[in-house]
Amino acid sequence: MNTLTVSARGQVTFRKELLRHLGIEPGEKIEIDWLPGGRALRQAARPTASMASFVGLLAGRTGKPAPMCR
């Protein structure tokens, strides 16, 4: 188990090994879920994808337009 020190401003610094383990790159965010008994679950915040962003990935891949579903 690793120990973190809380600064006077209430901040902690995570070690590179932990950030690497969580798959977190500089500038990304971390989500914290509060659990019973004073525990917390931390994980990398991953943006949720939308159907529009998925369809945008396919744009311009073929010369034919995709058929419309009805």
Residue-wise pLDDT tens digits, 18-66: 888 888 888 888 888 999 999 988 777 776 666 666 666 666 666 666 6
Q: What is the pLDDT of residue 11?
A: 93
Residue 2 above 70 pLDDT?
yes
Q: What is the pLDDT of residue 28?
A: 85
CB 35 within 8 A of CB 25: no
Give this prediction's pTM. Answer: 0.47
The length of the chain in residues reads 70
Residue 6 above 90 pLDDT?
yes
CB neighbours (10 Å) of residue 19?
A: 16
Q: What is the pLDDT of residue 7?
A: 95
